[in-house]
């Protein structure tokens, strides 16, 4: 096990970059080619990589998100093999995929703040 946070960050960055290349160019799956790796977090022992993904430029609902994650899970063995050659690790971390909803939440917070600002402005105006 490593206690060096720089190493886990470096490995996470390498996984993110290489996985992005593999998804966009090497899977042969048009749906997976629209997936973008937004963040990778690796456990201290480098055994598991939590991979956050989104679709690039595609509006999607819960069903499409679940379908994307299911396809990534099915492709995980192929993706791990593709990662193995480029990472230089004895053992490639297990890939666990999750859909990144952070930008959606950020947009919603922005909408709510805008509504609050408009309500405050309308309260200030004399009737």
Domains in the chain (CATH in brackets) are 5-100 (3.30.300.20)
pTM of this prediction? 0.74
Look at residues 58, 48, 56, 63 and name the one whose alpha carbon lies nearest to residue 8.
Answer: 48
pLDDT of residue 126: 67
How far is 91 from 54, CA to CA, in rounded Å? 26
How far is 8 from 49, CA to CA, in rounded Å? 10
Summary mean pLDDT of the chain? 83
How far is 86 from 102, CA to CA, in rounded Å? 29
Q: What is the mean pLDDT of residues 8-12?
A: 91
97 beta partners: 51
pLDDT at 56 over 80: no
How far is 84 from 76, CA to CA, in rounded Å? 12
Residue 97, classed as helix, strand or coil, is strand
Buried (b) or exposed (e) across 65-99, using 16+ Cβ within 10 A?
A: beebbebbeebeeebbebbeeebeeeebbebebeb
């Amino acid at each position: 096990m490593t206690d060096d946070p720089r190493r886990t960050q470096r490995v996470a960055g390498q996984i993110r970059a290489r996985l992005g290349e593999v998804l966009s160019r090497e899977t042969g799956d048009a749906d997976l080619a629209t997936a973008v790796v937004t963040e990778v977090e690796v456990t201290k022992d480098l055994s598991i990589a939590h991979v956050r993904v989104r679709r690039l430029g595609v509006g999607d609902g819960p069903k499409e998100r679940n379908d994307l994650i299911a396809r990534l899970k099915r492709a995980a063995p192929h993706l791990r093999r593709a990662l193995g050659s480029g990472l230089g690790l004895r053992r490639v971390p297990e890939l666990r995929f999750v859909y990144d909803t952070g930008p959606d939440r950020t947009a919603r917070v922005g909408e709510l703040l805008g509504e609050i600002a408009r309500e405050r402005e309308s309260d200030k105006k004399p009737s």
